[in-house]
Amino acid sequence: MDDETRPLLEVSDLSVDFRGAAGWTRVLDGVSYDVRAGEVLGIVGESGCGKTVSSLAVMQLLDLQGGRITGGDIRYDGRSLLGLGRRERDRVRGAEIAMIFQQPMRSLNPAFTVGHQIADVVRHHTGCGRRQAWDRAVEMLSLVHIPSPQERARAYPHQFSGGMCQRVMIAMALACSPKILIADEPSTALDVTVQEQILALLRELRDQLNLAIVIITHDLGVVADLADRVAVMYAGQVVEQAPVLDLFADPQHPYTAALLAAVPTEVHRSERFVSIPGRVALPGEWPAGCRFATRCPVVDGERCTDHPPPVHVDGPRSVRCVRAGEPALVKQGVAHGRR
């Protein structure tokens, strides 16, 4: 595989455990996905499905949360990130792969100006002087379209709106020119107008910098607006992956179909929204068979409940379901849930 077609980031069969009062519990189980330069991968699913945990694993931040990788591999630009020494791990994290976290107001230190915080990241990763790092901070604020960047660099986080703080976080993440940006719920808690501005900014940066982006969200509208491909997660596993247009036009996993059916559209004005019964099984409570079986409108008895479903792969598409290849039945079952 040549450099142009090889993924920049490859997550392969990744498993993660977390320590709790009763010992170690599996929270990610055999997760696989990849992303290439200039591509946007959307990772979607309900809260508790493992979306953020997968990103923390890529960033090698699990130990801070009481977690550990127990299986699989994470490869960046063809080499494994697992087993790196602390110095090399710190170099990759932030300089090669960067992340913006949820709730930007809480991610910024209120005691320092935003320019100081961006410059500090630059100095940490490049070793450059204060003046050069400051100039880079101002340059990055300009890149993310913050007006009067030289002046605003001297402002404190509380002097920025939520949307502007998110722009500051993006500027900080990109300050060392990483090749991959992981964005965890980048539009959460922002009003609709600001959300669209942030998504437009990410599209612009993707095109301008040939940036690979992994966007983690529960909002399918964000995925439709920004992503090229989608990985749908449920109870610690990826249950479906597909190009975004294929996934929206023809969902093949019942969970994906149910999520899409719950998105408000003009068609739904005279119909009852689909409600998925029950809740996501918590780690430690996962059933022996399909983890969606107890909530699935097309569950097929012991075929679904006794054994883990196989993963069916068809070109760029994969589906973890015994009903793979029966999209008409899946849609019919989900539609029945609306009546």
pLDDT in tens, 220-259: 989 999 999 999 999 999 999 999 999 999 999 999 998 9
Give residue limits of the domains in the chain. 97-177, 248-338
What's the confidence (pLDDT) of residue 339? 43
Query: Does residue 268 sit in helix, strand or coil?
Result: helix
How many alpha carbons lie under 13 Å from residue 326 in its C-beta half-sphere? 14
Query: What digits encode the pLDDT tens for the residues 79-101?
Result: 999 988 888 888 898 889 999 98
Mean pLDDT, to the nearest integer, of 8-29?
94
- Find out whether 254 and 291 touch, Cβ atoms under 8 Å: no
Average pLDDT of span 271-289: 82
Query: Band of the pLDDT at 189, cuts 50, 70, 90?
Result: low
Query: How does the average pLDDT of the chain come out, rounded?
Result: 89
Specify the 3-state DSSP secondary structure of 333. helix
Find the mean pLDDT for residues 175-196: 87
- More confident site: 114 or 339: 114
User: Is the predicted pLDDT of residue 333 greater than 80, yes or no?
Assistant: no
Asked whether residue 191 carries a pLDDT value surpassing 70, the answer given is: yes
d(CA 11, CA 209): 23
Per DSSP, 50 falls in state S
Q: Which residue has the higher pLDDT, 103 or 62?
A: 62
Pull the structure tokens for residue 21: 């009062």
Query: How many CA atoms lie within 13 Å of 51's alpha carbon, on the beta-carbon side?
Result: 26
CA 113 to chain centre: 28
Task: Work out whether the CA dihedral 233, 316, 311, 324 comes out positive or negative.
Answer: positive
pLDDT digits (tens, 9 = 90+) for 303-313: 899 999 999 99
Helices and strands in the chain, H and E counts: 13, 12
Q: Average pLDDT for residues 4-20, to the nearest whole number?
A: 91
Burial of residue 157, with CB atoms counted within 10 A of its CB: 0-12 exposed, 13-18 middle, 19 or more buried: buried
Whether residue 4 is predicted with pLDDT greater than 90 in this model: the reply is no
Q: Which of 190-194, 215-219, 300-304 has the highest mean pLDDT?
A: 215-219
Neighbours of 193 (CB within 10 A): 8
As a whole number of angstroms, the distance between CA 251 and CA 331 comes to 8
| Residue 87: how many other CB atoms lie within 10 Å | 7
Question: What DSSP element (H or E) covers 68?
Answer: strand 67-76
Strand partners of residue 76: 9, 79
Asked if pLDDT for residue 103 goes beyond 80, the answer is no
- What pLDDT is stored for residue 300 in this prediction? 86
The answer on pLDDT for 3 being more than 80 is no
Helix H or strand E encompassing 9: strand 9-20
Which residues face 69 on adjacent strands?
16
- What is the signed CA dihedral for 238, 239, 245, 246, rounded to 10 degrees? 140
